[in-house]
Amino acid sequence: MSNEMRFDIGAAYLTGKHAEKDSKRAFASFLGAAEHGDVEAAMIVAYLYATGTGTSANCREAVKWFCHAGDSGIEEIKYAMGTHCSFDLERTARPPLTR
C-alpha cells in the first residue's frame, strides 16, 4: 500500500469523512505512513502521541516523531521546539542516573 493511501485512510478515520471516526485506526494508518518515510504523517503521529489520540499519551515518542519530521525537512518544527529535540535524544542515549 502506498504512503498516500495510508495517509488518506488515516485522515478519513481521524476526521470521520468517508469512514466512521476511529482514532485508533487513524493512528495505525498514520504510523504506517510515517514508518515508511511520510514526513507529514510523522508530524501527525507526534501530535497524536502528544495528545493521546488513538494511542496512549507518550511524550518521548511525540518528541521522537517531531524530531524525525524536523530532520526530514520540516524545519519549522525544530525551530518551534527549540533545542528540545537534540537535548532529548542525547538524554535518552545516556544511561539513567543512579544514587
Q: What is the CATH number of the domain that holds 69?
A: 1.25.40.10
In a domain, residue 50? The reply is yes
DSSP category for residue 31: H
Mean predicted confidence (pLDDT) in 34-38: 93
In a domain, residue 47? The reply is yes
**Domain, as residue range, for 83:** 3-93
In a domain, residue 99? The reply is no
Residue 29 and residue 13: Cα distance in Å, rounded?
A: 9
CA 53 to chain centre: 11
% of the chain at pLDDT higher than 70 = 72
In a domain, residue 61? The reply is yes
In a domain, residue 26? The reply is yes
The pLDDT value recorded for residue 78 is 60
In a domain, residue 44? The reply is yes
The pLDDT value recorded for residue 79 is 58
**Segment 45-93, tens digit of pLDDT:** 988 998 899 999 988 898 888 888 877 666 666 656 554 554 444 444 4
The total number of structural domains in the chain stands at 1
Q: pTM of this prediction?
A: 0.75
Type of residue found at 59: C
∠ CA 2-25-77, nearest 5°, is 70
In a domain, residue 54? The reply is yes
At residue 98, what are phi and psi to the nearest 5 degrees? Answer: -125, 155
